[in-house]
A and B are shown apart, each in its own frame.
Chain A
Amino acid sequence: MKTIAVIFGGKSAEHDVSTITAHIPIIESLAASGQFDIWPVYITKAGKWYADKAMNDLSFFMQSDYEEKLVKQKQVQLSFENGFSLVWPGVFSKSAKIDVVFPSMHGTYGEDGSLMGLLRMAGVPFVGCDIFASATAMDKVLTKQVVSAESIPVVPYVWFTRAQWEKKADEFRKRIKEELKFPLFIKPVHLGSSIGITKAKNEAELENAIEVALHYDDKVLVENGVLNLIEVTLPIWGNDDPTPACVERPLNKTEFFDFNDKYLSGGGKKGGSGVNSRYSELPAEIGEKMTKQVKEMGLAVYRTLGCGGMARVDFLIDDTTKQIYVNEVNTLPGSLYHHNWRKAGVSNVELVLGLVKLAEERFAAQQSLQLTFKSDILQKVGGPKVQK
């Protein structure tokens, strides 16, 4: 039986969403497979690490006093000796060697490549996108820049950092006025789950929206709203040979598909079960031709960013011109978009087992790469000349 660590929580605005994803479906499905000894590894909002089997049950985190209970527990430490281990120090110290890690952290530190960097250093296979795709996808501006370089269409946008805005706000206001057209969408560049995103229909709303976005992030994206908008999203999995799930259309109950729609509204009948169900059309009724185009474009984005394991590509479609734009890429879709995968014929257990297999395959391929070589450069230090 393999030992798997599911890492969730963390210093992120999406802390609680991460906890939900970790349990529904990841831990539940790993447990259902009967193939794993599961260690839930929870990172508090303050960045403290804990691991306790009691946390395999989501109800642990639904207790009002769970944080007080955690404080009484021993924090877990990480060891990179002979692989990756969880260590509980003390007189009766114990450790658990981890064979594979399933990151379930949305947003900063988790989904932005930080955790992936740590796991690469630890030399342990991990599920999902690697550090490079994660870091790129985490930055909505960078994503646009990278995919545009491959001639994949994105909507016109302007971006700036907090420092730039503070110094040259008028300059950016002018650029926005000249290059973009209301209504606009203002987004914190690094946050997912639609947190901090605002729609602005005029200049006053724009100012407020930028203030909101800067409250969450120090880099802001302002982009054109698409008229006659159809929003669709496409989960994709695989390493070198990725496969798409179903094209799904979030239904705009409010101004746009926001955090509440995605995570807090509960289940419904349309579109499957669990999160999103009442708010999505699955599969999206956009016609065979457009579905095919979305899938092809999604796969192109997935490959361009170097995604692996799983990612979800979001699109904006102008229903009048039928123009498809790539909006953003999410390297850890909330709840793994398991309702969509089920519709595509992949059960939750098949999904998590498949992702673990992909992680192990990628790790094996990385292990076969030669990263070091013999050199006598150190011996030559202080000699007549060290060749660079």
Chain B
Amino acid sequence: MKRFFSRFSRRYIRSLVYMLQASEYHIQDYLNWYSRAQDFSAVEKRKHIQWSVKARTLNVLAWMLVGFALAAAVLAAAVLPFPYDLFVVFSLALGITYALPYALSGFVMLGGVIQKPLEQRLIRRAKETLRRHPAVKIAIAGSYGKTSMREILKTVLAEGKKVAAPPGSYNTPLGIASFVKTLTGDEEVIIFELGEYYPGDVRMLCEFVEPSMGVITGINEAHLEKFGTLERTADTIFELADHLSHRTVYVNADNAIADARATAGHIRFSLGAVGEWRVRNAKTGLEGTSFTLQHGTIEINAHSKLLGLHMVGLLAAAAHIAQGLGLTVNQIEKGIANTEAFAHRLEPKILSEGVTLLDDSYNGSPDGVRAVIAFLAHLKGHRRFYVTPGLVEMGERKEGVHREIGKELAEAEIENVILVRDSVTPYIAEGLKNAGFKGTLVWFEDGPRAFAALPHMTVPGDVVLIQNDWPDQYS
């Protein structure tokens, strides 16, 4: 009922445009949301529409369509006899609300067709610029950990090299092309994140940026709904290794799937080692992570503000790459000391009430979740709160993945688990129950309500982990 009537709310058009934007103009994702949505009047729960040129244009076009329908209705009412006029007016009113979502999709596709040649030209120019650029080009691929690896590398290498890397999530051809335009030509190292949404994406990006070396951070269920199988995800991510062939490829051996695919020519990195280097005395806590890297007489004492032992492998790989590029031990140690949590990725914030908030809202992968729960398990002497709406895009594995999260939370003896009620969190609750969870489980209808309740549930010294954000298009 609400689905029907909310089509007539004044926020209907705004909601449609917002959701197109939230879906990054992927028509299929947008239409999937449209078929599920129950209330079109309140969809901007976590974020709000950004009135970009594209969003504004779509908004105007939608209102123009409504205007045409209204004009037609007025004309029909004036010209047609009763009851035909009523029939036509009602048909138009209903028709326009049902037609709008598809009309907007059509506009987006049409825009894409017009934009395509311009984009292709931009990409061609960027490719040419990169081909002539003398910098070492490091490409990072993986289902998770790409941004962390990029930021670590950028920070560590910056101690001895001029480094450039695209900001934010510029990991598509167009995003990278826009970034290339900003290069000055004197960069010594350029770091790229290669986004993977469909098979062939990584290969295409490799042909675009022509990397000198690569880092594979791991493979998991992220985007499984798009890839179908983990095998296909792994094939896509290892397109980087295939492209680099005999050139240097680092593979995260802490990830079982990546480890199994790594060959003798690849350099494995993990919590225990990177290549021939050994990791000793790895420790982590709310203050950060520290370890020692040893290779022959070389010893690197690493102290990072990044949280969690899962960061050790990435930091060690960065140190190894830095040493290969000629940085001194001193520079590497200083670079690692400069690494700190990235926004929304296990980012610690001390709230005024003395509560530590660990913002991990951009971590939406099962491996990331496992690593973070392992980190929480290390924290003794604090009451721990784990807040999550679960993970999206887990495909057929959603039941297993979420039961496993529940099991791990119970085993880590987390005191308070706060779940946002949706299609996946009941599996976390099942996992908790089956593993004999002894803490407190609290349910909330949506994320904002859970966040609003948290200050009332915590006391100074507590640690609250916000795990993953559930984007509006999945609501």
Known contacts A34-B443, A34-B444; decide if A349 and B457 are in contact (CB<8 Å): yes
Stretch at the interface among A40-48, A92-100, A327-335, A338-346: A338-346
Contact A25 B444 (CB under 8 A): no
Contact B452 A32 (CB under 8 A): yes
Residues of A within 8 A of B458 (CB): 347
Whether B352 sits at the interface, judged by CB under 8 Å, is yes
CB within 8 A of B453: which of A32, A272, A346? A32
Contact A269 B352 (CB under 8 A): yes
**Bound CA–CA A25/B456 (angstroms):** 8
Whether A304 sits at the interface, judged by CB under 8 Å, is no
Q: Which of A347-365 contact B (CB under 8 A)?
A: 347-350
Residues of B within 8 A of A34 (CB): 442-444, 453
CB within 8 A of B456: which of A28, A269, A272, A345? A28
Known contacts A25-B456, A28-B456, A347-B457; decide if A342 and B443 are in contact (CB<8 Å): no
**Bound CA–CA A7/B215 (angstroms):** 62
Whether B460 sits at the interface, judged by CB under 8 Å, is yes
CB within 8 A of A348: which of B456, B460, B462? B456
Q: Which of chain B's residues has its CB closest to A339's CB?
A: B353
Give the Cβ gap from B228 to chain A, nearest Cβ, in Å: 38
Residues of A within 8 A of B453 (CB): 31-34, 349
Give the number of chain B interface residues (Cβ < 8 Å): 16
Q: Which of chain A's residues has its CB closest to B443's CB?
A: A34
Give the Cβ gap from A354 to chain B, nearest Cβ, in Å: 13
Give the number of chain A interface residues (Cβ < 8 Å): 18
Residues of B within 8 A of A346 (CB): 459
Give the Cβ gap from B444 to chain A, nearest Cβ, in Å: 6
Contact B456 A343 (CB under 8 A): no
Contact A273 B353 (CB under 8 A): yes
Q: Which of B229-263 contact A (CB under 8 A)?
A: none
Q: Which of B350-389 contact A (CB under 8 A)?
A: 352-353
Q: Which of chain A's residues has its CB closest to B445's CB?
A: A34
**Bound CA–CA A342/B460 (angstroms):** 7
Whether A291 sits at the interface, judged by CB under 8 Å, is no
Q: Which of chain A's residues has its CB closest to B351's CB?
A: A273
Residues of B within 8 A of A350 (CB): 457
Whether A194 sits at the interface, judged by CB under 8 Å, is no
**Bound CA–CA A350/B462 (angstroms):** 14
Give the Cβ gap from B425 to chain A, nearest Cβ, in Å: 14
Contact A345 B442 (CB under 8 A): no
Residues of A within 8 A of B353 (CB): 272-273, 342
Contact A343 B444 (CB under 8 A): no
Whether A29 sits at the interface, judged by CB under 8 Å, is yes
**Bound CA–CA A345/B443 (angstroms):** 22
**Bound CA–CA A32/B445 (angstroms):** 11
Q: Which of B430-463 contact A (CB under 8 A)?
A: 442-444, 452-462
Contact A32 B459 (CB under 8 A): no
Q: Which of chain B's residues has its CB closest to A28's CB?
A: B456
Contact A342 B459 (CB under 8 A): yes
Residues of B within 8 A of A269 (CB): 352
**Bound CA–CA A43/B470 (angstroms):** 41
Q: Which of chain B's residues has its CB closest to A352's CB?
A: B456
**Bound CA–CA A25/B460 (angstroms):** 16
Q: Which of chain B's residues has its CB closest to A30's CB?
A: B456
Give the Cβ gap from B181 to chain A, nearest Cβ, in Å: 47
Give the Cβ gap from B381 to chain A, nearest Cβ, in Å: 12
- Interface contacts beyond A345-B459, A346-B459, A349-B457: sample of 9 additional A-B pairs, CB < 8 Å, sorted by A: A25-B456, A33-B442, A33-B456, A34-B443, A273-B353, A342-B353, A347-B456, A348-B455, A348-B456
What is the interface of chain B, defined by CB distance below 8 A to chain A?
352-353, 442-444, 452-462
8 nearest CB pairs, A to B: A32-B453, A348-B456, A32-B456, A29-B456, A342-B459, A349-B457, A347-B459, A349-B456
17 A-B residue pairs with CB within 8 Å: A29-B456, A31-B453, A32-B453, A32-B456, A32-B457, A33-B442, A33-B456, A34-B444, A34-B453, A342-B353, A347-B456, A347-B457, A347-B458, A347-B459, A347-B462, A348-B457, A349-B457
